[in-house]
Structure 1
């Protein structure tokens, strides 16, 4: 991790109040209209949540209060199955079968306390850098480029955070690696990137359901692929609740050939099929074909879900996921032998500088992919 003053998420909460810190208002900002991201996204991306059009980003707004009550009442997935790799009865083969059937699975206690704390600090460091440029939380990020949301990958000058030890070490964990090997049926899979998403307090909009289509050209229809064309693991930093913007998923949708419904067409069971409550340290495995989307964050703190993205053996992913270096040699050397092996396509040669390393901006992705401008 770069030499910067330690920055814990608990410290950052002081910057997430209405009054803000150093003049910032990065939560519940009344000056940021619903659905209106700033920067280049305003002209390019037209995703909107029409149900909140004209609302004020105010926790005291009657419509926001009604939404809060609705989320508290209905928002968490009923009987959400959670597996523990530390349980003596844990069966990795059965958990992999659950994943293949439903397109997602949740493991609790995936991160030990020290790794969890290191990941919190690294994510807090990234967010502090982002807020230096976007103190109002208005730039927009992630799918749909809605305000009060960011992509931890798109905000990095390398489109990844593998230059931070706390992110790089996630490629090989005793709790997650056995399941990845069962899912891909091989140890030849590839670690491709590390990003994640952040939703600020005061994000009143729903993010539309979508797959993360990062797999590139495939032989045959994507829904018919037996091996997932990409798998993402999100790591839970703070407990996920009905109110703090947890992810919702549609089980089985990774096998559906049709497009996800628009927000206005989405049935209630999809809207409230949210992965909560979940404890800190949990890992959410997701087949990237599985429909998922963000929910409103009506709490007082932001919610971050760092991730690592993996591809199957011989993958040819789109948009240059494996054709540039994102992990410095010295970081790579500190990984386990298996971690080094699965990261073999993203590690830079010794002493080679990685362009964009440790550069953070809400729109850093535009430097890598200028066609998005």
Structure 2
């Protein structure tokens, strides 16, 4: 076991088992959409249990394991592409997405997800940005720096994938309604030990600088979204500060996702699904992925990589 590999790992396990996790974390049921929207707007994230069935959870877990195996075959030293033993599903795909895989396509047709994202945006006319997520392995003993997944446009070559810019310098993307939602799906329990995501509540509108790892207070390191059950979803405003944490368990932790743009927000995108596969999706899924589909005559090159082009 990893805990027996070194005394410092055993000590880290014991500390995290005792202290890790947001105190009083509220995990909602699948029928409480109004409360979910309230918590999302207050904290920048919300967790809802029992969204996936047992069969859907198992199907998704198997897909995550298959993708991880393909990626790890390229990285014998486990350097990762988001830090040691830590990987992005999108960053490990030639398309920057896993939308070409049936497991991620399945997530497009979860009714509660559609209902909740519609309620957050106040409109059903949102669009998929990508189908991605991340996974971390035992041995990811460090912390990923806190960060936000979207920022203001500062110039070509500096922030080419951020589309909001106020030339008056008065508004930032943090002053706006939520422009971009990430829905993470849990194919396994997320525990205090297997790399739960840390979320700093209420930071989605904060303009103060995000602290470095050296300056981050201990309470933030322990502000993790756990424990949370397999089959749940974690819905995040990507502006909120978040980061990866140690996986000192004995198994991989995966959180595949779907990422959605608000109807009024858009950034440059690359195709993630071939036209023929797109045609086989449900009508609603085709609408959601309307900006992610390759042209009918184009060949979509898929496969694993350590660094997406």
TM-score normalised over the length of structure 2: 0.90
**Distance in 2 between residues matched to 1:240 and 1:97, nearest whole Å:** 23
Instruction: Structure 2 unaligned segments of length 5 or more: list them.
Output: 152-160
CA contact (8 A) 1:168 1:331 kept: no
1:79 correspondence with 2:24: yes
Larger RCO: 1 or 2 (CA < 8 Å, sep 6+): 2
Of 221, 231, 234, the match for 1:271: 221
The answer on 1:245 being equivalent to 2:209 is no
Deviation at 1:108, TM superposition (A): 0.7
Whole-Å separation in 2 of the counterparts to 1:94 and 1:251: 16
SS state of the match for residue 183, structure 2? strand
1:225 and 2:176 correspond: yes
Conservation of the 8 A alpha-carbon contact between 1:240 and 1:246: yes
Paired residue secondary structure (1:195): strand
Q: Which residue of 1 aligns with 2:15?
A: 70
SS in structure 2 opposite 1:126?
A: helix
Contact 1:231-1:285 at 8 Å conserved across structures: yes
Partner of 1:47: none
1:184-215 Cα deviation digits (max 9, x unpaired) = 11111110101111111011101111111276
User: Which residue number corresponds to residue 133 of structure 1?
Assistant: 74
Secondary structure of residue in 2 paired with 1:166: helix
For 1:103 and 1:173, how far apart are their aligned partners in 2? 21
- SS for the counterpart of 1:106 is strand
Gaps of 5+ in 1: 1-16, 18-27, 29-57, 369-373
Cα-to-partner distance string for 1:327-371 (whole Å, 9 max, x where unaligned): 1223323332221111111112335311x32x10222x1xx2xxx
Alpha-carbon distance in structure 1 between the residues aligned to 2:41 and 2:81 = 29
Which residue, 180, 185, 195 being the options, matches 2:117? 180
Q: Distance in 2 between matches of 1:263 and 1:271?
A: 9
| Other-structure match for 1:307 | 257
CA distance in 1, matches of 2:245, 2:277: 34
Query: Residues 47-66 of structure 1 correspond to what in structure 2 (within 5 A)?
Result: 59-66=4-11
**1:291 equivalenced with 2:214 (yes/no):** no
Confirm or deny: 8 A CA contact 1:200 1:297 kept in the other structure. yes
Deviation at 1:171, TM superposition (A): 2.4
Partner Cα separation in structure 1 for residue 183 and residue 285 of structure 2: 15
Any residues of structure 2 matched to 1:100-111 within 5 Å, and which? 100-111=41-52
The question of whether the paired residues in 2 share the 8 Å contact of 1:169 and 1:339 is answered with no
What TM-score do you get using the length of structure 1 for normalisation? 0.75
2:280 maps to 334
Task: Give matches, 1:20-31, under 5 Å.
Answer: none
Whole-angstrom CA distance in 2 between matches of 1:304 and 1:61: 25
Give how far 1:178 is off.
0.7
Distance 2:249 2:36 in 1: 32
RMSD (CA atoms): 1.7
Aligned partners of 1:114, 1:61: CA distance in 2, in Å? 37
1:193 matches 2:133: no
The reply to whether residue 170 of structure 1 matches residue 75 of structure 2 is no
Please give the secondary structure, in 2, of the residue aligned with 1:264.
Answer: coil
Please, which of 349, 357, 365 is the counterpart of residue 295 of structure 2? 349
Point out the more displaced range, 183-192 or 92-101: 92-101
Partner of 2:304: 360
Q: How many Å separate the matches in 2 of 1:59 and 1:196?
A: 30
Alignment match of 1:114 (pick from 46, 55, 58): 55
Asked whether the 8 Å contact 1:171–1:191 carries over to 2, the reply is no
Q: Which moved more, 1:326-335 or 1:232-241?
A: 326-335
